[in-house]
């Protein structure tokens, strides 16, 4: 897995689901969905009625180890629910 520092400097090139599994546990979903544990956590942290940028900000404030790519991936799936 790419380190947080390398992701910030060189760009995040890993599958965001891998980082979400590492942070929140659960299994790596077969489809393109984020792990269920990460989605449950994200729902408690942010409000779905905000736009994507605000949700990404809230997620990253609540969990600083989230990269921008992983937080954006999670925010986009929250908006679809």
Neighbours of 65 (CB within 10 A): 10
Q: Is residue 23 included in any domain, yes or no?
A: no
Q: Is residue 12 included in any domain, yes or no?
A: no
First to last CA, the chain: 28
Q: Is residue 20 included in any domain, yes or no?
A: no
Query: For the segment 25-54, what is each residue's pLDDT rounded down to a tens digit?
Result: 988 888 889 999 999 999 999 876 788 999
Domain of residue 67 covers 32-81
Q: Is residue 43 included in any domain, yes or no?
A: yes
Question: Total domain count for the chain?
Answer: 1
Share of the chain above pLDDT 90, in %: 48
Please tell me the total number of residues recorded for the chain in this structure: 81
Share of the chain above pLDDT 70, in %: 84
Q: Is residue 8 included in any domain, yes or no?
A: no
Q: Is residue 14 included in any domain, yes or no?
A: no
């Amino acid at each position: 897995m790419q380190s947080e520092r390398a992701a910030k400097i060189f760009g995040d090139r890993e599958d965001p689901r891998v980082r979400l599994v590492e942070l929140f546990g659960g299994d790596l979903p077969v489809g393109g969905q984020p792990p269920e544990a990460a989605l449950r956590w994200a729902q408690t942290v942010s409000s779905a009625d905000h736009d994507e940028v605000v949700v990404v900000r809230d997620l990253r404030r609540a969990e600083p180890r989230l990269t921008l790519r992983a937080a954006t991936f999670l925010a986009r799936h929250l908006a679809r629910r």
